[in-house]
Amino acid sequence: MTDLDLNAARAARAEARGESSNVLVVGDDRYALPAEMPAAVLDGFMRANAGDFSGVIDALRLVFGTRTELVDSVVEGEPPIPVVTAIYDELVVTHHLTMDDLVWVLEHVMSSYGVTLGESSGSPTSSTGGGTPSSPTSAATT
């Protein structure tokens, strides 16, 4: 039986790309992106493709990840409390990102993983009925 070693596969991919990861720079802050796109991001894009655009925000939250900080308890003698911050939410609030900013971030973060956003959906089909049909331009042949 052969072991399917995911750790070895990850190490080989990291070595092949030179362990470089992309960094988003906004103002004086730098936000490191994971070297590989998290697979759970696909769920967010599938939801967005189905019309639930909150899926895009969820996908970006997964890419940027979270940070946990210990905050002193308000009760004396109690241990510090871990507070988890979604880095994406902090990025949006701290830097007052606009919708155009978010579109740019989405396009460039995804392209850094080799993923392109799909084309927009096609235009709706022509209406049927309600008008006068056009007349033939030549005689019918059989």
Q: Residue 13 in 3-state DSSP?
A: helix
Instruction: Please state, in angstroms and rounded to a whole number, the distance separating the CA atoms of residues 19 and 35.
Output: 7
Query: What pLDDT does 128 receive?
Result: 55
CA 59 to chain centre: 4
Query: What pLDDT does 134 receive?
Result: 62
22 in Cβ contact with 33 (< 8 Å): yes
Query: What pLDDT does 141 receive?
Result: 65
Q: What is the pTM of this model?
A: 0.62
Instruction: Please state, in angstroms and rounded to a whole number, the distance separating the CA atoms of residues 58 and 84.
Output: 16
Q: What's phi and psi for 23, nearest 5 deg? A: -130, 130
Query: What pLDDT does 96 receive?
Result: 93
Place of tokens 């759970």: 40
- The CB density around residue 37, as the number of other CB atoms within 10 Å, is 18
43 in Cβ contact with 62 (< 8 Å): no
Series of mean pLDDT values for 10-residue runs along the chain (142 residues): 86 78 86 85 86 87 89 89 89 90 87 71 52 64 64
